[in-house]
Amino acid sequence: MRKSLKAFAVFVLVVVCVVMLAACDANAEYYVLGTFLEIKTEGAGGAALADEINAFMQETELAVSTVMEGSDIYAVNAAPVGEAVACRPVTMEIVKEAEYVYDLTDGAYDPSVFPLVELWGFSPDKFVAGAEGNIPTDEDIAATLEKVGFRKCFSVDYEKGTVTKLVEGAKLDLGGIAKGYAVEKALSEVGKKQKALVNLGGNIGAANKTYRIGISAPREYASQYFAVVELYAGECIATSGDYQRCFIKDGVRYHHIINPFTGRPADSGVAGASVISSDGALGDALATAVVVAGTTSADKWVSATGCSIIAVNGDMAVSVFGGRTVECV
């Protein structure tokens, strides 16, 4: 009798502890880097941790925003040709990753594509969701292409921490890489103990736990997700697609991922691309590159970086590169 009482007391204690721990789970939302930041944490201290992650991301935005006066990228874009603009260490770190992916993808991911993004009306200050945009003329596209090409338009001194514009009107845009970078850094902020899921506008990172992640369907589909993957602790998944910032005119889809060679929205046939990698910045930029260039070089990029790539076309046919198991739903 006494034994079963003791067992009951232990059981109650365990239940109370579990309930208390569950009560410590936190769910926080913020707005940063032009999108929603959602942080789910398990265990005590989650709310403070989420605030810290948000503060770090706000700092990153102050450094790399194209529209905030006082950011490094704003200063680079406003500077005259030949002026070396001193940038914060965080900006230089992201530029270095951007240059790596620019080289890896033979320029499909190009951080100097911003003049084209602006021309098509997809920059953060110009895009109006739901409005039918204007199609630029061939002459405007050709003239703008002159100002695009990272190597041709910018010189970077990593030792001095400066970026110099080489071509009048050239502009940098780290919008295709900064969110992935910020999520990867958030995971190091979480440290080794707390279980957390960080979602910055579709760039998702898992800390200290495996999470199941649904990948959004780029077209009308029976369910919201067309695939589910396991994201292991320390990994990030980034998704890019032609369905997020876009408009349809005369049956043609125009969207915010621009082919830096044609000067027009990418039409590789890939409607959505997700990249899983422990390098969040790499995954983010590579996802953009897959939408631009398609999957022809996907095997090469997977073996160079160890990432996995999941691409889906407009007919919802899925291709997977790299070792990750993908459950199609």
How large is the C-alpha radius of gyration of the chain? 22
Nearest residue (beta carbon) to Mg ion: 288
**105 near ligand ADP, judged by CB under 6 A:** no
Of 175 and 218, nearer to ligand ADP (C-beta) is 175
The single residue among 111, 121, 133, 176 that binds Mg ion, judged by CB under 5 A, is 176
User: Which H/E stretch holds residue 119?
Assistant: helix 114-119
Choose one: 16-24, 143-151, 171-179, 319-327; the region binding ligand ADP (CB under 6 A).
171-179
Of 256 and 324, nearer to Mg ion (C-beta) is 256
**283 near ligand ADP, judged by CB under 6 A:** no
**284 near Mg ion, judged by CB under 5 A:** yes
Indicate which of Mg ion, ligand ADP, none lies near residue 258 (CB less than 5 to 8 Å, by partner kind).
ligand ADP
The single residue among 50, 73, 74, 173 that binds ligand ADP, judged by CB under 6 A, is 173
Would you say 48 and 189 are in contact if contact means Cβ atoms under 8 Å apart? no
**240 near ligand ADP, judged by CB under 6 A:** yes
CB of 285 to Mg ion, least distance (A): 6
Choose one: 211-219, 258-266, 278-286, 304-312; the region binding Mg ion (CB under 5 A).
278-286
The rounded distance, in Å, linking the Cα atoms of 272 and 238 is: 10
The single residue among 115, 133, 149, 175 that binds ligand ADP, judged by CB under 6 A, is 175
At residue 262, φ and ψ (nearest 5 deg) are -95, -20
The rounded distance, in Å, linking the Cα atoms of 173 and 147 is: 13
Convert 250-259 to b/e letters by CB count within 10 Å (16 or more is b).
eeeebbbbbb
**Cβ neighbourhood burial of 218 (10 Å; 0-12, 13-18, 19+):** buried
**240 near Mg ion, judged by CB under 5 A:** yes
3-state helix, strand, coil in the chain (%, to 5): 35, 25, 40
**288 near ligand ADP, judged by CB under 6 A:** yes
Would you say 231 and 326 are in contact if contact means Cβ atoms under 8 Å apart? no
DSSP string computed for 197-241: EEEETTEEEEESS-EEEEEEPSS--SSSEEEEEEE-TT-EEEEEE
CB of 41 to ligand ADP, least distance (A): 23
Within residues 71-100, the interface with ligand ADP by CB under 6 A covers none
Indicate which of Mg ion, ligand ADP, none lies near residue 292 (CB less than 5 to 8 Å, by partner kind).
ligand ADP
**288 near Mg ion, judged by CB under 5 A:** yes
For Cα atoms 29, 245, 219, give the angle at the middle one, nearest 5 degrees. Answer: 95
Interface map 198-227 toward ligand ADP (x if CB under 6 A): ---xx-------------------------
Residue count of the chain, please give it. 329
Contact residues: ligand ADP, CB under 6 A: 109-111, 113, 117, 122, 173, 175-176, 201-202, 240, 244, 256-258, 260, 284, 287-288, 292
